[in-house]
Structure 1
Amino acid sequence: MNSKDLTVIEHIEEIRKRLWLVAIVFILGIVGSFFLAKPLIHFLQANEQMENLPLNVFQVTDPVMIYLKVILFLAFVITSPVILYQLWSFVSPGLHETERRATLSYIPYSFILFLAGISFSYFVLFPFVMKFMITLAGDLGVTPLIGINDYFNFLFQITLPFGVIFQLPVALLFFTRLGFITPMMMVKVRKYAYFGLFTIAAFITPPDIMSHLLVTVPLLILYEISIAISKIGYRKYLKAEQKRQIEEQQESLQSN
């Protein structure tokens, strides 16, 4: 049965089945993450800026909370390709065959860009932010006493948004491939997009020009890459539309 012919109850039942599948994979991801969390925590603590600043525990439950947060983070990363595939499977019956094939291929690229965004934030941006904060504390004549819970919360607040922001090329290509936006539209609103990305960079970086540039420049490059990629997707969209119109005309002539 075609998804377009399903009733509301059948749609809800389909969503429920997909959510159950995602939940099962997520639970399996949690089980696997128990073995990965400890070495990842040690790795994330080995920051160059933290060599002379040991992390502290201010509450008895802090170590458990950090362990759980890292486990959940790893489980989410492991499950994210399944989530994307289930979303695609749910909406794909409403797409044409060429659109289904094209959008399915975006899932691995989306996952890779998510990891690339997190890696960029941790290895490039995070050290500059920590250095700025520690230097500022020294200028104010105070000694940083950093709790492990605050450290990891701050780390996740810096890195996770970049995993989402780096989805920009895939997201814009997806909407271009479906004909919702065009490269011409993206070029037309470029200055507004730049201002928006500049504002986002200001919110997630400390108030120094170097950190701001480290974030703003890659975001602007991502937008330009998105325009270039969307031009390819738009040409494919036009070809697919032309082919579809020819097929519809042929079917109409045959039926007459």
Structure 2
Amino acid sequence: MPLDQLWDDDEQEGKGGEMTFIEHLEELRWHIIRALAAILVFTVAAFIFHKEIFNYVILAPKNPDFWTYRQMCKLATLLNAPDLCVNKIDFILISREVTGQFMMAMTYSVIIGLIFAFPYAFWEVWRFIKPGLHDMEVKASRGAVFWVTFLFLLGALFGYYIVSPLAINFLANFKVDESIANQFDISSYIGLLAMMVLACGLTFQLPMVTFVLSKIGLLTPKFMRDYRKHAFIVILIVAAIITPSPDVFSQMLVTAPLLLLYEISIFVSARVNRQRQAELDKTLGD
């Protein structure tokens, strides 16, 4: 279907009919500009409040009184497993470059801008795509913006409160010799934290990816069930990459949500498959 036929009459009311290719590009340009503007607004706000954000958000996972570590200590008491309790995180942060702290503030401001502007940015993209969908496709994808946003933020929180503290604790306390002190560059610390948060945010999009692939017929629930064991191995590998800590407890904390996401994705694929089959039967019946 030509690009200038993708938009329905309702969306073009008052614009004199169907849009031309140039008009589509102009429309897309404004959606992108508004999305970038939202990212810029949150980035500037994060930079203005950089001291508060740095002290209470960025540096929080390096302190033993962080929420995650407190819960681990409670769990250690409950299970009588003192090794689970984190009492000390043995490292200091340094900045070796003249512009190190300024660039660090700029970097995490952009990252925070991306995270907080993600719902609006995705909504702008969705506004551009939605008019080109058929009525059944629009109905089937109802709530897409909410679920994409919810899963991304849920994954980001999981990365911040679960994966990042486990990784930081393990890497900070791992020493080949006690005489070697851990002094981490601030850019390395922020890079690790950002990677964990964003990676988990994207990983939690698995049900939505499954929805899209199932919708276009590239994925079926039967395929996902048949390869469940293979998927389990892949999830273990992903969990091992995301969480450098070798202990079983840390691995399971990351593996369990990923397995749950896979099972939810099977349910999503099965539902989409039933809808596609019902539409096909209706078409053949007509």
Q: Same fold per TM (> 0.5)?
A: yes
- State the partner residue of 1:62: 100
Letter in 2 for 1:32: A
Contact 1:30 1:71 survives alignment (8 Å): yes
Q: TM-score, normalising length from structure 1?
A: 0.82
Report which stretch shifted further, 59-68 or 24-33: 24-33
CA RMSD of aligned residues (A): 2.7
- State the partner residue of 1:46: 60
Letter in 2 for 1:120: F
Q: How many residues align?
A: 247
- State the partner residue of 1:191: 229
- State the partner residue of 2:253: 214
**CA 1:178–1:99: 2 relative to 1, 3 Å:** farther
1:173 aligns with 2:211: yes
Report which stretch shifted further, 140-149 or 3-12: 3-12
Alignment partner of 1:3 out of 2, 6, 10 = 6
**Percent sequence identity over aligned pairs:** 28
Matched residue SS, 2:98: coil
Contact 1:183 1:227 survives alignment (8 Å): yes
**CA 1:234–1:58: 2 relative to 1, 3 Å:** same
Structure 1, unpaired ranges of 5+: 250-256
Offset at residue 75 of structure 1 (A): 1.4
Letter in 2 for 1:27: L
Offset at residue 227 of structure 1 (A): 0.8
1:161 and 1:10 mapped to 2: Cα distance?
A: 36
2:210 and 2:239 mapped to 1: Cα distance?
A: 19
CA shift digits 1:138-194 (9 cap, x unpaired): 755311112222211111122210110011112212332444422122223323333
Offset at residue 239 of structure 1 (A): 3.3
Matched residue SS, 2:94: coil
Offset at residue 52 of structure 1 (A): 5.9
- State the partner residue of 2:131: 93
- State the partner residue of 1:223: 262
Structure 2, unpaired ranges of 5+: 8-17, 65-87
2:216 and 2:144 mapped to 1: Cα distance?
A: 13
In proportion to residue count, which structure has more helix?
1
Contact 1:177 1:233 survives alignment (8 Å): yes
Report which stretch shifted further, 171-180 or 4-13: 4-13
1:125 and 1:33 mapped to 2: Cα distance?
A: 23
Contact 2:220 2:273 survives alignment (8 Å): yes
